[in-house]
Amino acid sequence: MSTTKKEPTFVTDSKISESLFTIAKKYLNRAHSPYSKVKVACATLMNDGKIYGGCNIENASYGGTICAERVAITKAVSEGAKSIKAILVLTNQKEIWPPCGICRQVMAEFAKSKTLVFTTNLKGQMITYNFSDLLPGAYTPDYLLK
């Protein structure tokens, strides 16, 4: 499947992406990924003003694997945070990786369409999305809560 690629900018272009990147880098080393060897980290700024981090945690029963984004978001929500202000994903891969479909759906629960999603690599290159670019026509809580 081919997709239109955005040109990368740099993490240092904004204070918020820089802060999230610094925290995500700490979590990258905590990735538990003996099977894929891929390290992914996520840092999310929540409405409580705090930044929560997470890493991918794989499982010998592959389906038990959880992505870095969902680790960070579930940590934040379980601490009482309610919404995502901005979120950054970092991988140790050469290419900049976008969040997977399940993580996009979980983001849809706590993000707004304009919420910034920064996707980065260790070179500090960054592709920035509004959440709605990643999941157009999202199935959001609005459908159930209206």
Q: Kind and range of the H or E element at 89?
A: strand 84-91
- How many residues sit close enough to ligand THU to count as binding (CB under 6 A)? 13
Q: Does 92 bind ligand THU (CB under 6 A)?
A: no
Q: Does 90 bind ligand THU (CB under 6 A)?
A: no
Q: What is the spatial distance between Cα 42 and Cα 74, in angstroms, rounded to a whole number?
A: 12
Question: What residues are paired with 125 via a beta bridge?
Answer: 10
Instruction: State which of positions 100-139 bind ligand THU (CB under 6 A).
Output: 100, 103
Q: Does 38 bind ligand THU (CB under 6 A)?
A: yes
Per-residue string for binding with ligand THU, 18-37, x by CB under 6 A? ---------------x--x-
Shortest gap between Cβ of 124 and ligand THU (angstroms)? 19
List the 84-91 sheet strands across, edge first. Answer: 9-10, 125-130, 116-121, 84-91, 40-46, 51-55
Q: Does 68 bind ligand THU (CB under 6 A)?
A: yes
Q: What is the spatial distance between Cα 84 and Cα 106, in angstroms, rounded to a whole number?
A: 11
Q: Does 44 bind ligand THU (CB under 6 A)?
A: no
Q: What is the spatial distance between Cα 90 and Cα 99, in angstroms, rounded to a whole number?
A: 10
DSSP class of 21: H
Q: Known catalytic residues? A: 69
Give contact residues for ligand THU (rule: CB under 6 A): 33, 36, 38, 40, 56, 58, 65, 67-69, 99-100, 103
